[in-house]
Chains A and B, each alone.
Chain A
Amino acid sequence: EPEVTQTPSHQVTQMGQEVILRCVPISNHLYFYWYRQILGQKVEFLVSFYNNEISEKSEIFDDQFSVERPDGSNFTLKIRSTKLEDSAMYFCASSGDRGAPQPQHFGDGTRLSIL
């Protein structure tokens, strides 16, 4: 069964450094998302992306964050200058066409640890 893949599975970064989290969504999906989950807390929406532009973003998704689909397969989340509070599990998700209930399929996540 097709799946969303995320790399790396764990990223350790010094505070203030830039980090890029990578995702390969399911190949025929058109809608892409990033969520994060701080340890022990609920999953929070960051941003959605469709047709090469952001559809919606949350308050968390400030100027330090950006997303990009650099080619036909990858979808990336960049944090420009990481803070301690950015430590979390980051999930990429994708869903298919409109016209039918489409669950969002999640990747296994990238655990980001900021030192």
Chain B
Amino acid sequence: AQKITQTQPGMFVQEKEAVTLDCTYDTSDQSYGLFWYKQPSSGEMIFLIYQGSYDEQNATEGRYSLNFQKARKSANLVISASQLGDSAMYFCAMREGPPSNTGKLIFGQGTTLQVKP
């Protein structure tokens, strides 16, 4: 069963505008963590942001924030004030279990973001 779904294969955004990348997930665990990674064209995987299922506040890291809607099982990434360097593939991932869990990550298909000047 598909556990992480990213329905937007590709997105465009104008430089300096905000953009939302969608991610929905499926799990029967009450405790889990959600992650976003950025993969530039050079190929490396860069950790951006983490949200725990019991976290009451939405996670934020600089220009990245996570719009976590637990009842809807969605964890959308919001990038504010887009920059040309934000052009990349973005992956949503989930790790089932408590925050201390060190298990595998399950990835979505990814969304390619292109920032237009």
User: Can you name 17 A-B residue pairings with CB atoms under 8 Å?
Assistant: A33-B104, A41-B109, A43-B45, A44-B107, A45-B104, A45-B105, A45-B106, A48-B102, A55-B103, A58-B104, A93-B45, A101-B99, A101-B100, A102-B100, A103-B47, A105-B47, A109-B44
Is B25 an interface position by the 8 A CB rule?
A: no
Q: What range describes how many residues of B lie at the interface?
A: 20 to 34
Is A111 an interface position by the 8 A CB rule?
A: yes
Cβ–Cβ < 8 Å partners of B105 in chain A: 33, 35, 43, 45, 104
> Can you list, as one digit per residue, whether each of A92-114 has a CB less than 8 Å from chain B (1) or not (0)?
01010011111111111101000
Is B68 an interface position by the 8 A CB rule?
A: no
> Chain A nearest CB: distance from B106 CB in Å?
7
Q: Which residues of B contact A (CB under 8 A)?
A: 33, 35, 37, 42-47, 50, 52, 91, 93, 99-110
Is A31 an interface position by the 8 A CB rule?
A: yes
- Contact at B50–A56, with CB atoms within 8 Å? no
- Contact at A48–B103, with CB atoms within 8 Å? yes
Query: A40-84: which have CB < 8 Å to B?
Result: 41-45, 48, 50, 55-56, 58
Interface residue tally for chain A (C-beta within 8 Å): 30
- Contact at A56–B103, with CB atoms within 8 Å? yes
